[in-house]
Structure 1
């Protein structure tokens, strides 16, 4: 891609980000929700915006429902007596990918989730399983915080 086109696209992206921030700031309920989400270590402006845009039910559903809507709930592959491996899937794919990125950050910078990640590593869980578990915890934590309308506190998690 030539540099001129890249510059045009970068400016356009910046303008869109400003418009999104203004739209969230102009609505008191959305602004409060964004502040709650961004109080969680690991949830950045992109993740909070995606949660607000892709999951308007946030705070009105159970943690299990939130995980399923994000595609982070395990799906059984069983048939009769055969027990298959559990895998994630379905849900809102774009949001799931953003939550994976947030989980990578949270596994290193969120004091509660870092301990959880270290425990999973200690028992030999693969990296993908750890990140998926942290992403699911992030979704359930953000859902609970939005439901109670409280900001993050390591003691509350």
Structure 2
């Protein structure tokens, strides 16, 4: 699937080894010359980030819509590394509600595992998508769409059984 932090965390807590590359935003300000999130160190005991200049970015607020914790520090215009960090007086760093699960799944998504996934899993879903009108359901409602998808899976399995 896709990198949904909540679903990945649930799978990991159930004992599954999840390998999904993260589809997350990067700091694209300044054509890549600014520090990225990976350059900041998370301090779990303080619930804060430590910037490359050694300053603490404490937890400021939560965005429930985006499922993010936001950390910030003001006074960046006094920092000698500001030209590598931000143009603003305040640098913001975000942390997903399920950041640990996303990082673990991303680290497990090695190139070898992704190649194996492309060869085994992706063709099945590509065929299902083609069979189901390019992924668009013709029925309305969750139960109807679920039934339509189940019929698609059943027909796929029958085609595989006949071919085997």
TM-score clears 0.5: no
More helix by share: 1
TM-score (norm 2): 0.21
Using CA pairs under 8 Å that are at least 6 residues apart, name the structure with larger relative contact order, 1 or 2: 1
Which structure has the larger Rg over C-alpha atoms?
A: 2
